[in-house]
Structure 1
Amino acid sequence: MPTIFVLRGVRFMIYPNDHDPPHVHAWGADYEVVVLLGNCEEIYPTLREVRGKPSQAALRMILLAAHERCPQLFEAWRIHHGYQG
C-alpha cells in the first residue's frame, strides 16, 4: 500500500488494485478515513467513510490536506490504477 504522504501522523495511502471512484485512505492511530478525490477542480474531495473516531479537527485537517494536495493524490491514483478520468 503506497503511502503518498504523511501529515501530523496521518498516512495518506492509495491501495493498489482498489476500486473506482478515485479516493485516498487516511490512517490515523485509531481510525481510517476514506476521502473521494472528485476531479480536484469543480468537484472537491469529500468524506466517503469514517472508521473509528477521529476528532473533528482531524477530519478537517484530512479534508484540507486532500484538497490542497488533490492533484498529487489524483496523479498517484492514475499511476496505480491507470485512471484517465
Structure 2
Amino acid sequence: MPTISMFYGIIIRMYCAPKEHNPPHIHVYYQDDKAIIDINTIELIDGKLPKNKLRLVLAWAELRHEELLADWKLAQNGELPFQIEPLK
C-alpha cells in the first residue's frame, strides 16, 4: 500500500488493488492509531485518531478531494497513485 502523502507525523496511504472495496477511502496512520477516511464524504468511517490530527486530515482531504478521487481511479485500475501535496 503506497504512501501518497505525509505531514505532521501523519501517513496517508491508498491500496492499489483492482476492485478495492467501496466507498473510495484512504488509510491514515499516526503513531499507534489507524483510521479510514471516506473520500466522498470526507468523514471518518473506521478507526480513530487524536482529535487534532483528525481535523488536519479532514482539512487536507477537503483541499485535495479531486486529487484523491483521481488517485482512487488509478488504484482501481491497479496503477500506483500519485503523490499528493502535504498539508503545510
- Answer whether TM exceeds 0.5 for this pair: yes
Question: TM-score, structure 2 length as denominator?
Answer: 0.77
Hey, what's the Cα distance between the residues in 1 that align with 2:65 and 2:11?
A: 15
Q: 1:19: how far off?
A: 0.8
Hey, what's the Cα distance between the residues in 2 that align with 1:56 and 1:75?
A: 27
Deviations 1:7-45 (A, max 9, x none): 11111111122311100011111111100011xxxxx41
Question: TM-score, structure 1 length as denominator?
Answer: 0.79
Which stretches in structure 1 are left out of the alignment for 5+ residues?
39-43
**Aligned Cα root-mean-square deviation (Å):** 1.3
| Percent identity for Structure 1 against Structure 2 | 27
Hey, what's the Cα distance between the residues in 2 that align with 1:63 and 1:74?
A: 15
Alignment coverage as a number of residue pairs:
75
Q: Say which SS state the counterpart of residue 5 (structure 1) adopts.
A: strand
- Structure 1 ranges of 4+ moved more than 3 A: none
Alignment-derived partner of residue 24 in structure 1 = 26
Q: Does 1:62 align with 2:57?
A: yes
